[in-house]
Structures are given as C-alpha cells and as structure tokens.
Structure 1
C-alpha cells in the first residue's frame, strides 16, 4: 500500500528546487506576489474615502486649536478611588534597565540618559515610538517599588509638558486607549509618592485623556476597546468626575460589545489575539468595578463569558493562540492570565468557532480557517489566506503561518495568500491591503472579492473528515479550491487532498491554460526539516525532538526559506512548498500526509 494511504501517490520523479533568497519587499516569503501599483479601489470605497478626507481634517483643525484642552476640563478630580489590576504578565527587566536610562521597547533600544528623557529625542522606529507613547513600559517600572513609582511619575509629568496639546500621533485613539489603561492601573501608586500638587496634576492628566476617548474620531473598529479604557479611567478617578465618565462610557460600551464580540465569542475582526486583548481589558474593568462595589453590566459580563469560551477553543496545545487574520500566537503566560477566571478549565472542544474548525486526535491538533476575512473597517488587520491551517503535533507547533500582526505594519506582504499554509494559484493573492494615501485615510484595509466557503464535516469511529471549499479563484481562473482533511484518531495520522476543479456556474469564461499553483506549509521557527532521498518525503522535528513525516505526491517538493513575525520582530523560518500546474478546464489533485516517524513505512 502507498504510504499516502487512501490518497495514492504518483510515481514520477521530482526535481529538488533550490532554496533561493527572499526577494522584494522586506519580510516577504519566497515568490510572494507584490503589486507595485497596489490594489484597485472600486466605487464602493469612494464614500468612505470622501467622508474620511473631510472629517479627518476637521478634527485635526478642531483639536489643534490653542484652547481645545480647556474643553477636556469637566470637574476637578482630586483623588483616586481604585487600583485596577492589569492581568497581563509583566517583565520586570524592562523596568530595571529603564531606571538605568535605557528604554528597550518593540525590539529596539534608546539610551535616554539619567534621569531619562525619551520624549524630546527621535525614536528608533515607529513601533518603538508607539510602545513609548502607550506607556507600555509603565507596568514593568511600577514593580520596581517606590523608586520605580517615582520615576514613573516623573516620566508621566514630563510627557504631559510636551504632549498636553492634542497631536495626531500621541493622541491617536488606539494609542490613547492603551495609555489610559496603563495610567489607570498605576495612578494610585504614583499618587502615593507624589506631592499634593503632583497628585492633582496626575488626576487631571488622566481625566482629560479619558474624556478624549469619548469623542470622535475613532470609527467602529476599536470602539469597544476605547470605551473600555474610558470606563477604567472613570473607575479610577474619585468623585463626580469619575462617576460621570464611568456612567457615559459604560452606557455606550454595551452596544459596542454586541457589535465587536460575536455570539460565539470571536472578535469581529476574526483575529484571535484581538479577542484575547479585549478580554484582558474587560477583566481589568471588571476588577475596577468590583473595587467600587458596582455591578458589572449584563452586556459586559456576557461578552467576557463568550470571549473566554472562544479563547479556550482557539488555544493550541502549546498554550498559545492560533495565528490567523492578523492575530499572533501571543504567549502561554498571557493566555493563561486571560483564562485565570475560568473556573471550568475545560480542554478545548473540537468543532467550529467563529469560522475556525478544530479537529484533533491524541497527538494531532488541526485548526483551519473556513470563513472569509473581515470586511470594511474590520478588515484593517485581515489576511487573504482562505483555508489556511495550523497543525500541532503533541505540544510542538509544526505548521503555522508567517505570523503577521499590526505590530509588523511595514511587512504588509505577509498578509497575502502565500503568507500562510494554503494554496496559491497563478502567482496571485486573493486580496491585497490598501497602501499609500488610501491607507493613510482608511487604514490598511484588505481589498478582496467576497469569499464563499462551503464546509462539510463527518465523524466515524476513530476518524474525522473535514472538507472545505472556497470560490476565491473563480474570478481569475474559473477554479474552486477544495481542501479535504481526514484525521485518523487511532493512528494520529492526517491525510489530506488539495483539489482544484472548474466551477460549474457563476464564474466568468476563462480560456483553458495551465496555471502554476503552490501549496505552502509555513513551519514554526526552530522546526527542523530534512528532505528524504525519495524527494517526496520530509522529516520534521519540533522543539521536543519528536519526528513527523510529511509526504506528498506533488510534482515539485522543496524546502525554502521563509520568515515569521514574533511580537513584531522578524525571525528566520522554513516553508515546505509543493508546486505544479493546474489546467483551468480540468481537475487537479495534490495529496499529502502527516504521520509520526518510526513506523515500518518510513522512507529511507
């Protein structure tokens, strides 16, 4: 019997492709198509572009007026009422180096001297500047005791001296929301080491920024996050000032959460990491309300419960998240912190959640993206990677994606179809992000045709079938892509088939041609891959050292260099690429299999 089991392999020899180098855009995988002209913007975007052109300049002119800051003074906050807990794990080493005048943020460093003054000097890059202005350094500084609190107070007051007046970057809604949360969690401790004048000034600084979060612009995407931050700020400020802020923010938060969090708990952007971060923020707000002996609103409690269930089912066996639709894997500690309130501690359940399908056996866990990317404002972090999958073997994550997240904003090419483990056809992508002035106005939205995905699922004793098909290639090639997965739960063996076949109806007339295809399997950084002598089998070893055989009957199999984004930083990685040609007027099948090493059918 063929080692591919029911999917018999071809006997034709396959040449070995050279690995080559990564060309073109920095961070792009091998042979990634990147159009220099960018995606075409149809009439459907014109109203959004025109509206944004008008409103953006209007708000810049209004908020930039010399007296605008006075409108943010509504009442006088004189004390702090709560110390909400930030459930995110904190790296104290960042705070230690900061006390020595060295800021290490987003993979870059800045020597700011002693006492540190990072505000009036250029940042190494935009990612560093963003982390600096969201006060991402503040939690690690606060764990350094009284000295850390005093330095945090000094840096906060010196920031206000330079940036009290509204500016598009420092007061960007996303940056502002994160800064308000970080300040809120540290404000009371900073107030304990401050003079009376400094404490009053600190309360005023927090109150003004929290009020700004209740004002436009901001848009639909991120609205729940901004209102959560405003409510946390209102919970920290004592008296009528905080009470009014909290009441307004909580009143708007319920409708925003119903739009942002789906019935199954998946974030509207379909980014698992975005759901994780929103859950952590809501947990901080829940803690703040508890300190005030206030009841958690029903909509907020329901959203926390739904986000927690989705987080459980989107967690891989290594304790981290799946990397789909602009969401990175985060860290096991961060995921565990978000699940710390989950009393059930149930294992992830197989089945669908938010368009992701999970199938599993004792040693194999497979998650597949079986839905289209986010649309409209929710597509700013979306990726054109239909039917992408991730595979964990035991606790080793073996097959994954390139891990693009918004923190890697300069590597937009990784959002294209070749950036994940799926099939590409004709050196094209199923969609492309906006660039240039369009992106400056609307954000880097993904421009793609509507995608229809059909899913079938069956189970039998010791076996699971999952078949998913999308029509993304019909408009350009007249072909449907079907990915068939068969998981033998007794043997811990995954057998799969990629099928390209002509669409029966609904597609444009396409002349018969042979279109090149590539089925990519992006490997987790650190995974070792060795091509066997049969040129069709590859031995994979994860961090645990356990071996797994990947086999295919594709005509051209190669191990090529790739990249992987980890918390905004690019790491070297490998990818398995199966190439061939598919006729647009006929059916093409490519079969592959993943099984444990050590059996009698192992290649030599």
Structure 2
C-alpha cells in the first residue's frame, strides 16, 4: 500500500521512461552502442562559465591523491569505490573540482590532465554510474569550462582523446534526458545539451530541440510566484544558477539570449532573495544546505503564496514558515515532512532552525532528517505528517493548506494528521518584543488520546540554560532571548543539525509536550527578546 501511495501520483510517461531506460542499460554497454557514438574530435569553440569557484585548499589535497567532496574526504581516483556513498562518487564524476586544480595555476594543470586521462582509460565506454545522465551532464559542462586549462600544452594524444570523449558523451546525453525524474535533473541535462550545441562543432542541430524542451520545462517548473516547484531553497538556487550561466554563454557566443530564458531568470530572482535568511545563509526547508550567496540583486517579496512560504520581519528578527505542499506530486525526491515548521534569525544569526538534510544514501539518518520531529513544528504521537520512506520516496501526504498574514501575524493550517482525525493550526506573531506562537490541535470526531510535542531546534551557536520556568537563549554576540510555555511541560533535549551534506553538529532542542484527550488542545508559547 505504501508503494501505491507513491505510484498513484506519478505520470504514466515517467514510469514508461524509467522502464525504457533500465531496459536499454545492457544495450548501452555493447560495442555497437559505443560505436554509434562516433569519433568526432573538433575542439570546443566556446566555453561556459565554470560551475564553481576554485578552492586551492582542496586543489592541494588533490595533489596528495585525496579529495574532499560533499563533506567527505576520499581517494581522488575513487570513481568506482563502493565504500564511498553514491552521492560522493557522483560528485567525483562531475569534475567540478577541476576548478580547484585550476586555482593552483600551472601547478595544477598536469595533475588535472592525469586524472582526466585515467578517467578516460577506465570510463570511455559506458558505465551505469559514470555515464548516468546527471553526472554526465555536470561533467560535460565542467570539461567544456576547463577545456583550455586542460589542453594548453598537452600532448596531441591527450587533446584528441579528450575532445573525442566530449563529443561521444554529448551524443549519449541527447538520448537519455531524465524524463522519468524531471525537475532540477532535467534542467541540468538541458543545460549541458545546450552548452554542447553552442560549444562543440557538429552539435548545432541539437540546439532547437533542447531549447524547446527547456522552455516547456520552465513553464512547468517555475511557479507563478517565481519559486522552483521542488520548493527547496537550495535547489531553487541551483536551477537559477544554471539558467544564469546559460544566459552568459549565449552572450559570449555572440547569440541573442532567448526571451523565455531571461524572463525565467528575472522571475526566479525575487524568490531567491526571499530565501536568504542572512548574507550567505539559506533557509533549510526540504533537501539542501544552508549555503547561499551573500546577496541577490532583487527585492524579496513578503511571501511565495503559490509555493507556500511566508516571511515575517520585525526589527532585526526574520522568520520564515512553510505551509505548502511537500513537493510536486510526481517528484517526491527532496520532500520533507516539514509543514508549519519555521526558522527564526535575529540580526543575521540563526536562533531556531530545521535540522537539515545530512545524507541521501545513509538510510539510518536519511528519513530521520526528512521526518517531522527533525523540524521546528508539532508532532502527533511522534509520527510524521507525511510518509517519507526509502531515500527519495513519499507516500501519504497532506493535500489541503490554508495560510494568511495580517498585521504581522501568520495563521496556517493543514491536513497532515487527518488519519488521526486531527487538524493542526499554527499562528505566529513576530514583534519588537519577540515571537508569540500558538499551536492548536482539534478533532474532527471523537477519538483516542494522543501525545502532542512541539520541537524548536536551536542552532548550534545558541547557548541554552534552563532558568525558572523558561529557558535562556544566548546568541553569539549580545542578543539574549527567553523561551516560555506557561502551564506546559518544557524540556531541553539533545538534537543534531546538518548545515551541509555529511556534516552533523550536536545541538539542543526545546520540547513542549501535552496530551490531547478532549476535543481540542491549545499550546501557547513565546520567545521573548531580552537584549
């Protein structure tokens, strides 16, 4: 039944494409399929912007035969090392770390060539991980961006093999766009396909097809409020960066930037500014990391109502709350059971946070971080408000949401607890004196007793000390807050916080508990600003 609760939301075309791709995997491994990729070896005529800024520290580590990716250090040639998480191996296959070697200047060029040559020797023929459409897309963009760095002064044999592989990989990509996944994965595929059509001689004919599909996807994936439909601040920025880099490439290639592309960028920028809680810090809802740009050249709106996010501000305090769908129905991969959770910053410093993402392939932690208890909201009987399971699946999920903001007060409700016959309503009012909150749980019909718990996960930089009936919260610097929940049981529990993949910090959590035995339970609580 749980699997059906996932499959019922998928489009038939997604399932058909996934079956087609799996059926084709044995064919892709054959000599005939490899031969059909051809032997073109023309040099790139343009280069896309590098997808990341180089880190000379990691570049120096690579010189020693090691590399640090997504928070884990491993062997620089560990492309097939089964002891490393799949996300780590994917990231190694991206070759975005070429920027780290280029940051070393001439010292990094020969080691970069050596690693590319060794990759070519092992993976020039199809491999299910190395040639998976997602790492394939990112690798193509990285190789195009760093082609001059790699080929300058290189042997003719290396240059020929490198260019030949670029052409072969570009041809393979055009037959394996991720139509089963869609979302940011398909945007990555299309970005790479467009880059190849602009940069590689002989691939120009693929440009119109890729642009047509990109236009269609942007119409589908960018909501009317400018938010990317996966509702992840982190992935919103990824998609926006991909589109901005395509605009730069069109300009550098002397071509007119397609109108739909520049329009999409302009629509997404205000939503990007909305998700910045402080310079360089993103709100953590759904999958992603805390890292963001220092600023966005756009004015943040007060809300993203189509996506289901609202922001409150008072003095130096900023709050963001989620009251929207977990994900697009047909793309649950990055969904968390986080409805009505919020994050609170004061003076650019985080006070209340969600716990983050941590890892995709570590199933001991994956769904704990996706679960409701790892978010700053209410749970019923310590269950999840949406059915997260597997690494990227979602079964039962809330369907109805209502939210409004009036005079600095947010009110929201959703139906994530209807299997218990319950509705959760939350109100948040942010003012000069602090944050006043109310959580109300009401029955639709008589039922058994339930245990309610509200968790407020503190950022690791916050020092929490029990003080009378409340808890004193000291932020870095001079800001001090106090938490109170008059008449309710308040405890200070251990928690964890993950700002980035494979990074986990111990922290504390304020927990308010109460039983629900009657028709309704109201829990009032308050964060008071002391200094």
Verify same fold: TM over 0.5: yes
Q: Does 2:299 match 1:351?
A: no
Deviations 1:26-77 (A, max 9, x none): xxxxxxxxxxxx945347269869746732431212212222122222x734
Partner of 1:100: 64
Counterpart for residue 469 of structure 1: 413
Tell me the residue number matched to 1:20. none
- Looking at structure 2, the residues matched to 159 and 298 of structure 1 have their Cα atoms a distance apart, in angstroms, of 38
| 1:60 aligned onto 2:36 | no
Match of 2:194, SS state, is helix
Q: Secondary structure at the match of 2:189?
A: helix
2:314 pairs with 1:361: yes
Q: Distance in 2 between matches of 1:398 and 1:80?
A: 49
Q: CA RMSD in A?
A: 2.4
For the pair 1:456 / 2:404, whether they are aligned, the reply is yes
**Which of 505, 518, 522 is matched with 2:453 structurally?**
518
CA distance in 2, matches of 1:47, 1:303: 25
Check whether the contact 2:9–2:329 (CA below 8 A) recurs between aligned residues. no
Partners in 2 of 1:318 and 1:132 — Cα distance?
Answer: 29
TM-score (norm 1): 0.81
Q: Provide Cα deviations, 1:428-475, integer angstroms capped at 9, x if missing partner.
A: 11223342xxx6xxxx2211234211112212xxxx111001111122
**Alignment of 1:420 onto 2:375:** yes
Note the C-alpha offset of 1:285.
1.7
Q: Is the 8 A contact 1:519 1:578 kept in 2?
A: yes
SS in 2 for 1:448: coil
User: Would you say the 8 A contact 1:483–1:499 is kept in 2?
Assistant: yes
SS at match of 1:316: strand
Matched, 1:430 2:385: yes
Distance 2:427 2:68 in 1: 46
Q: Name the SS of the counterpart of 2:31 in structure 1.
A: coil
Residues 307 and 530 (structure 1), Cα distance of their counterparts in 2 relative to 1, 3 Å cut:
same
Q: Gapped runs of 5+ residues in structure 1?
A: 1-37, 504-509, 599-604
TM-score (norm 2): 0.92
Q: How far 1:248 sits from its partner (Å)? A: 3.3
Residues 294, 366 of structure 1: alpha-carbon distance in 2 compared, 3 angstrom cutoff = same
Q: Give me the whole-angstrom Cα distance separating, in 2, the residues matched to 1:254 and 1:561.
A: 47
Q: Distance in 2 between matches of 1:360 and 1:53?
A: 45
Which consecutive residues of structure 2, in runs of 5 or more, have no partner in the other structure?
Answer: none
CA contact (8 A) 2:270 2:301 kept: no
Q: For residues 268-283 of structure 1, what are the structure 2 equivalents within 5 Å?
A: 268-283=229-244
**Looking at both structures, which has the greater relative contact order when contacts are Cα pairs under 8 Å and sequence separation is at least 6?**
1
How many aligned residue pairs are there? 522
Cα offset, 1:111, TM superposition:
5.0
Judged with a 3 Å threshold, the aligned counterparts in structure 2 of structure 1 residues 326 and 209 are, in CA distance, closer, same or farther, namely same
Shift of 1:217: 5.5
Distance 1:529 1:293, change over 3 A: same
| In the alignment, structure 1 residue 233 sits paired with structure 2 residue 196 | yes
Q: Is the 8 A contact 1:399 1:421 kept in 2?
A: yes
1:392 aligns with 2:345: yes
Q: Distance in 1 between matches of 2:487 and 2:164?
A: 65
Report the secondary structure of 2:276's partner residue. Answer: coil
Q: What SS is found at the alignment partner of 1:497?
A: strand
SS of 2:281's equivalent?
Answer: coil
* Residues 411 and 427, structure 2, Cα contact 8 Å, conserved in 1: yes
Corresponding residue for residue 224 of structure 1: 187
Task: Report Cα offsets for 1:342-366 as digits up to 9, x if no partner.
Answer: 3xx54x3423352100110112111
Residue 40 of structure 2 corresponds to 76
Distance (whole Å) between structure 2 residues aligned to residue 254 and residue 47 of structure 1: 20
SS at match of 2:429: strand
Q: Within 5 A, what are the aligned runs for 1:515-594? A: 515-534=450-469, 537-553=470-486, 555-568=488-501, 569-583=503-517, 585-594=518-527
Alpha-carbon deviations, 1:578-603, whole Å to 9, x = none? 111112x41111111112114xxxxx
Distance 1:467 1:242 in 2: 53
Q: Distance in 2 between matches of 1:169 and 1:259?
A: 28
Q: Does 1:256 align with 2:256?
A: no
Change (3 A) 1:120 1:452: closer
Separation in 2 of the partners of 1:327 and 1:106?
A: 11
The answer to whether the Cα contact below 8 Å between 1:501 and 1:587 also exists between their aligned partners in 2 is yes
Q: 1: CA distance between counterparts of 2:460 and 2:166?
A: 41
Q: Is the contact made by 2:151 and 2:159 (CA closer than 8 Å) also made in structure 1?
A: yes
Instruction: Note the C-alpha offset of 1:511.
Output: 4.4
Q: Work out which of the residue numbers 101, 120, 127 in structure 2 matches 1:160.
A: 120
**Displacement, 1:121?**
5.5
